[in-house]
Amino acid sequence: MVTKVSASSENLGLQPMRTEVTILFMKTSTVVSFFGGGRGAKSRIARALGVSTAAVAKWREFVPDGSAYQLIQRFPALYDLDKADCVDASNASQTQ
């Protein structure tokens, strides 16, 4: 899921400016399902990202930010998955 957060520079004593930041919280289980689930899914994810299978195996509940961004760039269908599979950034408890 993509959450947009607006920040104001006025609080910092700077010139007024609005900045929009995109934060991705993609569930690892969603990505594994997208890649076919079951045996070999993490290996397929690793190949798609150009990283080791061990690196993917270390993912916890959420995909690391950089990997999530790369996956969405390479597989836009991941972005369009059902909202039930995504987590709102305000409800996420794990720090990336």
One-letter amino acid for residue 44 of the chain: R
Chain-centroid distance, C-alpha 61: 11
Model pLDDT for residues 39-85, shown as the tens digit of each residue: 999 999 999 999 999 999 999 999 998 898 899 889 888 877 745 55
In the block, tokens 């990505």 appear at 31
pLDDT-derived band at 90 (thresholds 50, 70, 90) equals: very low
Q: Quick one: pLDDT at residue 18?
A: 61
Domains and CATH numbers, the chain: 2-82 (1.10.260.40)
% residues pLDDT > 70 (the chain): 59
- Judge whether 28 and 85 are in contact, CB under 8 Å: no
